[in-house]
Amino acid sequence: MKKISFFAGLAFFLFACQNNPSAPQTHSNEETDHADTTIVDTSSFFLQKYQGTIGDRPATMTLTDWGDGFLSGWLALGDSPVRLLLSGEMTGDHQFEISALAGEEEIAQMPGTMHSQSHLSGQWLPASGAAPTPFDMQAMPQIPDDNWSGKWFLNEIWDGGLLMTGHYSEDSLDFALSIFRGGHTGIAEGRAAIQGTKAVFFTNEFDPEPGCRLLFEHHGDYIEIIQEGSNFGCGFGMRASANGKYERTKKVIHATLDYDPSGEKIFKNQAQHDAFKKLVGEEMYDLFAYNMQVVEPAEILPGDDFATRAVEGFVQGMLAYNEAIIMRDDAGKFWAATIDLDHKTGEMVVRYFTNDPARKDRLPATIEEWRDNFLDYRVVFENPDL
C-alpha cells in the first residue's frame, strides 16, 4: 500500500465534498451572508496519539483519520529516533490495514481492529518475513485546560480546510491539515513548536531551499495560519495555500451573483437578479453562483441576437466539473445552463433554464458552444411546461 494512493483518495474525497488569458472584465463573485449556516460537525475525522507495545517493545503512534477511511501518521519504536511513516485505510467493520514505511521501503504491515478511537490492536507483520507479533495501543490522555486541541475549519465559499490539533504540551503540539482551493488540494502533518500563543512548523522535505514554514496564531475562537514558502515547498497543489482563518465551528457560506447598472456584471439591477433567482430556485441559484467563481463575458453567436448579454463562469481548477453560463436580454428573459451532479444516477448533467417559451426545449447556439468540452453530459431541460 503506497502513500500515493492515500493522497489520490483524499483528493477525490475533497472534490466530492465541494461539488454541492483573462478578459479585461474578468472578475470573481462575492461572498454573501445569504443563508450562511453553522453546521454540527459529525465527521469521523480525528487526530490521536497512542502508547503501547509491539511485541515486547514500547511504541508511540500518532494517527490521523482523514475521513472516508484514509489513515496516516507516524510510529516510533522504543527509544529509536527514527519515525516510521504510516499510511493505510479502514477496510470495513472497524478493521484497518496500515503500512509502516521507512522512506519508500515497507518495513511492516499492520492489520488490526479499531475498537474505538482510543484503542487499537492487531498484528505486526514484518516485510522481512520474521514472525508476526501482536500490537496493542491505547490513546494518551489530553492535558486539562488545553485550548489548542480540537478541530478548526477554514470556512470560505470555494475553498475549505480542516486543521486538527492535539496532544498539546508546554512546548509543542501535533497537527494535521487538509485544504482544498478549487480543484487543488494540500495536506500537511507533523508537530509544531509552541511559543506563547503561536506555534511554528518547518519542513524542507519537498524543497530544501527555502523549505516551508507554517505559523499558527491562536486568537481564541480561531487559529490563523500564515504560510511562508511556496505551495510546492509545502507539498501542496498549485493553488492550495494554507493561509487563512480556521474557526472552531464549521459553516456553509454561499456566493451571490452580482449586478450593476453599468451592465458590466451579470445583471443590470436587483430586479433582474431576483427574477433569475425565482426562475431557477434557491438551490440552483446557489449552484449557479458557486460555479461562477470567475466570470468572463461570452461572445453571443449569430442567431442568438435575442440576447443582449452573456457571461460564463467556472471554478478555478474545476473546468468541465463546475461551470455555468447565463444569457439575458433587457426585458427579463433568461437562457442559462450549469453543470450539476445528478445524485440519483451519479452522472454529470447540464441543467438548462429559460423563461422563453420559444426556446424551452432547445439550447441557444451560444450555450451549445459553451458545452463543447463536455458534450457527453446529458442536457436536462428544466422548464418544459412553459
pLDDT of 35 reads 54
Identify the helix (H) or strand (E) that includes residue 340.
strand 334-341
* 191 half-sphere exposure, CB direction, 13 A CA radius: 15
Q: Are 367 and 261 part of one and the same domain?
A: yes
pLDDT of 317 reads 87
pLDDT of 41 reads 60
Cβ neighbours of 347 (radius 10 Å)? 12
Number of H helices, E strands in the chain: 4, 27
Rounded to an integer, what distance in angstroms lies between the CA atom of residue 162 and that of residue 177? 6
What pTM did the predictor assign?
A: 0.79
Q: Specify if 15 maps to a domain.
A: no
CATH number at residue 337: 3.40.1420
- Report the pLDDT averaged over residues 280-296: 96
C-alpha 275, offset from chain centre: 32
Nearest to 236 by CA among 317, 150, 149: 317
Rounded to an integer, what distance in angstroms lies between the CA atom of residue 332 and that of residue 307? 10
Q: Report pLDDT digits (tens) over 43-70.
A: 678 999 999 999 999 999 999 999 878 9
Parallel, antiparallel or unpaired: strands 309-314 and 294-297: antiparallel
* DSSP secondary structure letter of residue 57: E
* DSSP secondary structure letter of residue 199: E
Rounded to an integer, what distance in angstroms lies between the CA atom of residue 47 and that of residue 25? 45
Q: Are 162 and 238 part of one and the same domain?
A: yes
pLDDT confidence bin for 30, thresholds 50/70/90: low
Q: Are 207 and 284 part of one and the same domain?
A: no
Count of the separate structural domains present in the chain: 3
Q: Where does residue 252 fall: left (phi above 0), alpha (psi -120 to 50 degrees), or beta otherwise?
A: beta
Q: Is the pLDDT of residue 372 over 90?
A: yes
Q: Are 308 and 217 part of one and the same domain?
A: no
Q: Specify if 26 maps to a domain.
A: no
The string of DSSP letters for 258-287 reads -B-TTS-SSBSSHHHHHHHHHHH-HHHHHH
- Tell me which of 90, 112, 139 is where a domain ends: 139
pLDDT confidence bin for 177, thresholds 50/70/90: very high
- Tell me which of 204, 232, 252 is where a domain ends: 252
Rounded to an integer, what distance in angstroms lies between the CA atom of residue 380 and that of residue 105? 50
The amino acid occupying position 175 is F
Rounded to an integer, what distance in angstroms lies between the CA atom of residue 68 and that of residue 14? 10
Handedness of CA 78, 83, 88, 92 (dihedral sign): positive
Q: Specify if 223 maps to a domain.
A: yes
Q: Are 170 and 226 part of one and the same domain?
A: yes
pLDDT of 39 reads 66
**Whole domain around residue 287: which residue ranges?**
257-381
Nearest to 6 by CA among 107, 96, 118: 96
pLDDT of 18 reads 43
Q: Report pLDDT digits (tens) over 113-149.
A: 999 999 999 999 999 999 999 999 999 987 777 889 9
* DSSP secondary structure letter of residue 127: T
pLDDT of 43 reads 67
Q: Is the pLDDT of residue 33 over 50?
A: no
Nearest to 214 by CA among 248, 254, 173: 173
Q: Specify if 24 maps to a domain.
A: no
- Tell me which of 106, 139, 172 is where a domain ends: 139
Contact by Cβ (8 Å): 324, 312: yes
pLDDT of 265 reads 86
Q: Specify if 74 maps to a domain.
A: yes
Q: Specify if 135 maps to a domain.
A: yes
Cβ neighbours of 137 (radius 10 Å)? 24
